[in-house]
């Protein structure tokens, strides 16, 4: 019993306490790797691995450089587009996709009113002069032609005429009741 405890203590001392106390790490306990390569061959092997690492590092640097160049070229291309295109993107395409504009071709008047509606009621944040630029650009890029433009004027005409007509009718009725 006594010798059992002693050997446990000895083992603990050898395996844990002593290495820790001497400040060595586990790698230094490993036996040197057995190899049948000559020192010259070992050196060549090490150099080959280092070359591979260096090549991989260069490839990665080139890839990063290319990606950065592509990013810059794209940023330049975007910045070089005409002013109205950029303005539309900034003021309108935050809420809409470009399809939304394509699918709603309108006359100049229609676009003026749409841009005004977006400005007043939908919170498109326009600055002075934006509306004119936007309406002009949109009307030339997504114009309503032929029947569609007549329909637009017809609807606008009705939208203006109906309240006037209703007001007139009400007034007539009012006067009839007075008489």
Residue 51 C-beta: closest distance to ligand HEC, Å:
56
Only one of the segments 17-25, 45-53, 55-63, 110-118 lies at the binding site for ligand HEC (rule: CB under 6 A); that segment is 110-118
As to burial, measured by CB atoms within 10 angstroms (0-12 exposed, 13-18 middle, 19+ buried), residue 140 is: exposed
Query: How buried is residue 14: exposed, middle or buried, by Cβ count under 10 Å (0-12/13-18/19+)?
Result: exposed
Determine the residue with CB nearest ligand HEC. 92
Subset of 68-97 contacting ligand HEC (CB under 6 A): 91-92, 94-96
Judged by CB under 6 A, the chain residues 138 through 167 that form the site for ligand HEC are 138
8 Å CB contact between 111 and 62: no
Pick 19 or 119: Cβ nearer ligand HEC: 119
Closest approach of Cβ 91 to ligand HEC, in Å? 5
| CB neighbours of residue 110 within 10 Å | 23
The closest alpha carbon to 137, from 171, 92, 175, 169, belongs to 92
Chain residues binding ligand HEC by CB under 6 A are 91-92, 94-96, 100-101, 104, 114-115, 117-118, 121-124, 134, 138
């Amino acid at each position: 019993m006594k010798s059992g405890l002693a050997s446990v203590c000895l083992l603990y001392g050898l395996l844990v306490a002593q290495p820790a106390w001497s400040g060595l790490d586990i790698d230094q306990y490993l036996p040197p790797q057995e190899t049948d390569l000559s020192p010259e061959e070992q050196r060549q092997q090490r150099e080959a691995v280092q070359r591979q690492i260096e090549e991989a590092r260069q490839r990665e640097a080139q890839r990063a450089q290319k990606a950065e160049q592509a990013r810059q070229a794209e940023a330049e291309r975007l910045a070089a587009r005409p002013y109205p295109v950029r303005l539309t993107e900034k003021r309108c395409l935050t809420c809409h996709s470009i399809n939304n504009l394509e699918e709603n071709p309108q006359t100049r008047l229609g676009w003026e009113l749409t841009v005004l509606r977006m400005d007043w009621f939908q919170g498109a944040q326009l600055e002075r002069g934006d509306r004119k630029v936007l309406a002009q650009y949109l009307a030339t890029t997504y114009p309503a032609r032929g029947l569609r433009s007549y329909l637009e004027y017809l609807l606008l005409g009705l939208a203006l005429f109906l309240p006037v007509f209703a007001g007139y009718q009400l007034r007539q009725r009012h006067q009839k009741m007075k008489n």
